[in-house]
Amino acid sequence: MSVDTVVVDDVEERAPLGRWLWLVGAVILTAGLLFGYDQGVIAGALVGIEKSFSVSTFAIEVITSWVTLGALVGALVAGMLADRIGRRAAVLVAAVMFTIGALIEAGAPGTGVLVVGRLVVGFGVGVASVAAPLYAAEMAPTRVRGRFVSWYQFGITFGIFLAYLVDELLSSGDRWRLMLGVSAVPAVLLVLLILPSSDTPRWFVTKGRRDDAERAMRRIRPHDTEAAMAELDASLGEEVEQAGWSEVFSRRWRKPLMIGVGLAVFQQITGINAIIYYANKIFAAAGFETAAQQTAATTWAIGAVNVLATLIAVAFVDRLGRRPLLLAGLVGMGVSLTAVGVSFLSLNAIPSQPTDSPSAPSAAGTVTLVALVVYIASFAFSLGPVVWTVINEIFPRSIRGRGVSVATAANWGSAWLVSQFFLTLTGAIGEAGTFWLFAAMSAVAFVWIWRVLPETRGRSLEDIERMWTAEAETSAAT
């Protein structure tokens, strides 16, 4: 079959989805929720933590950002774990770690224990951020794979939104313990959901467990099990053994690795988490002066829009394809970031604390608000879900776990860098300069994606793998 052929075959096109796929959908949604809630909740919890313990600025930074470092380590370990013990077992490990971490955080008698809790939670989030989308990408029939992995992003955005709401509700006193402890609830739910699930047919096949693979396939594709197994079997002869790290970095797989890591990094260096973490401060600079005004703007203009616009990707990623969504989203992000930069030229500097004296946002403040809404919506239907989708579908089976691991760790590493240095950057080159830098990165991402990313919509994972092999052979021959 030519590598340019769209390989959604007729059988799959017609077959109804197996009921088990709902369970897979619930797993991926809950894993995303954990990720997002954790990402969003800390801003609100910090106010209470600062009141309970007398903490230094350094300790605050550690409490905030080490969860991301924990996640980076978790993501690196997760690939090996997912290849060895399976995708399902790796999700289970993540959920258990997360539950333990959340309970440690909630009961922490001092900052030392709290930091330990943050690291454990971070590790759990990191493992889940590799294992859960990988699980979904391997379980999903080709024609709905993008939609499945996009549910992960929907979970993330919903988690961030919930965290903003919880922050508003529980913002006083010692209730930060509850804010952090509450995240154990979806973690326990994840344990309950993953326990009755099975591992992916592809992972079973890699382990030489063909009977288990067939049983799993029957659950998710009851109407075309034979056809689906035949396609898996066709790629069986080619390569079954899971390769080690050297294979991940080998010449043969250079292109998928470059694409995975490139997309992961671009998702972060175009500014998303600077906006997610510092939205309150940005709105403060834009003239939303009281804490209540800022929180409302953040919850609805950022949090809710992020959730809703993700549904655009859920609806269109498998119809229009990955490339059009990514490219259109980057245009929206680039233009809106440029507008935020321009409006900041006539705004105040980003303040470190909210004030208590209300005044109406200026015209430039309104432009900033509208531009940020456009930015969030553009990210939410493009780089948010589509990057996770592509990362989880481009690696060949022999290195899939490790490849996804490397790309996801690159994502966490860049997230950490951006959130750590955003305020330093605005101090050095100004707010306008910082947003223009993010806009410039969006332009670079546009050109790069335009040139290197092949469309993967409608291609089975096995077909994508054959495409790389064919490309590597062609380039070796020339």
- 385: enclosing H helix or E strand: helix 383-391
Q: Which of 101, 68, 87 is nearest to 28 (CA)?
A: 87
User: CB–CB of 125/67 below 8 Å?
Assistant: yes
Q: By CB under 6 A, name the one of 276, 364, 373, 409 that touches ligand BGC.
A: 276
Q: To the nearest whole angstrom, how small is the minimum distance from the Cβ of residue 181 to ligand BGC? A: 22
Q: Which stretch binds ligand BGC (CB under 6 A): 87-95, 140-148, 268-276, 395-403?
A: 268-276
Q: Which stretch binds ligand BGC (CB under 6 A): 100-108, 149-157, 185-193, 446-454?
A: 149-157
Indicate if the alpha-carbon torsion angle 198, 201, 206, 209 is positive or negative.
positive
Expressed in percent and rounded to 5, the helix, strand and coil fractions of the chain are: 80, 0, 20
Q: With left for phi above 0 and alpha for psi between -120 and 50, is residue 317 left, alpha or beta?
A: alpha
Residue nearer to ligand BGC on the CB measure, 39 or 405: 39
User: CB–CB of 102/181 below 8 Å?
Assistant: yes
Decide if residue 298 touches ligand BGC (CB under 6 A): no
Q: To the nearest whole angstrom, how small is the minimum distance from the Cβ of residue 425 to ligand BGC? A: 17
Distance (Å, whole) CA 401 – CA 405: 6
What are the helix and strand counts (H, E) for the chain? 21, 0
- 162: enclosing H helix or E strand: helix 145-169
CA-based angle 93:94:99, to the nearest 5?
A: 100
Residue nearer to ligand BGC on the CB measure, 204 or 412: 412
Residue nearer to ligand BGC on the CB measure, 104 or 374: 374
Residue nearer to ligand BGC on the CB measure, 76 or 216: 76
Q: To the nearest whole angstrom, how small is the minimum distance from the Cβ of residue 302 to ligand BGC? A: 9
Residues numbered 95-134 forming contacts with ligand BGC, rule: CB under 6 A: none
Q: With left for phi above 0 and alpha for psi between -120 and 50, is residue 357 left, alpha or beta?
A: beta
Distance (Å, whole) CA 294 – CA 284: 6
CA atoms within 13 A on the CB side of 31: 38
Q: By CB under 6 A, name the one of 39, 197, 200, 343 that touches ligand BGC.
A: 39
Q: To the nearest whole angstrom, how small is the minimum distance from the Cβ of residue 206 to ligand BGC? A: 27
Q: By CB under 6 A, name the one of 200, 206, 273, 426 that touches ligand BGC.
A: 273
Residues numbered 304-333 forming contacts with ligand BGC, rule: CB under 6 A: 306
Q: To the nearest whole angstrom, how small is the minimum distance from the Cβ of residue 159 to ligand BGC? A: 9
Residues numbered 152-171 forming contacts with ligand BGC, rule: CB under 6 A: 153, 156-157, 160
Distance (Å, whole) CA 393 – CA 319: 16
Give the residue nearest to ligand BGC (CB).
Answer: 384
Residues that contact ligand BGC, how many (by CB under 6 A): 13
Q: To the nearest whole angstrom, how small is the minimum distance from the Cβ of residue 144 to ligand BGC? A: 19
Distance (Å, whole) CA 150 – CA 314: 6
Distance (Å, whole) CA 213 – CA 219: 10
Q: To the nearest whole angstrom, how small is the minimum distance from the Cβ of residue 78 to ligand BGC? A: 15
Give the tokens for residue 475: 């380039």
Positions of E strands within 163-319: none
Q: To the nearest whole angstrom, how small is the minimum distance from the Cβ of residue 13 to ligand BGC? A: 29
Q: Which stretch binds ligand BGC (CB under 6 A): 150-158, 224-232, 311-319, 389-397?
A: 150-158
Q: Which stretch binds ligand BGC (CB under 6 A): 172-180, 265-273, 316-324, 351-359?
A: 265-273
Decide if residue 198 touches ligand BGC (CB under 6 A): no
Residue nearer to ligand BGC on the CB measure, 157 or 298: 157
User: CB–CB of 295/58 below 8 Å?
Assistant: no
Q: Which of 139, 166, 207, 188 is nearest to 398 (CA)?
A: 207
Q: To the nearest whole angstrom, how small is the minimum distance from the Cβ of residue 415 to ligand BGC? A: 5
Residue nearer to ligand BGC on the CB measure, 53 or 66: 66
Q: To the nearest whole angstrom, how small is the minimum distance from the Cβ of residue 277 to ligand BGC? A: 9
Q: To the nearest whole angstrom, how small is the minimum distance from the Cβ of residue 243 to ligand BGC? A: 27
Residues numbered 371-430 forming contacts with ligand BGC, rule: CB under 6 A: 384, 411, 415
Decide if residue 248 touches ligand BGC (CB under 6 A): no
Q: Is 239 helix (H, G, I), strand (E, B) or coil?
A: coil
User: CB–CB of 124/81 below 8 Å?
Assistant: no
Positions of E strands within 174-233: none
| Residues lying near ligand BGC in the complex (CB under 6 A) | 39, 153, 156-157, 160, 267, 272-273, 276, 306, 384, 411, 415
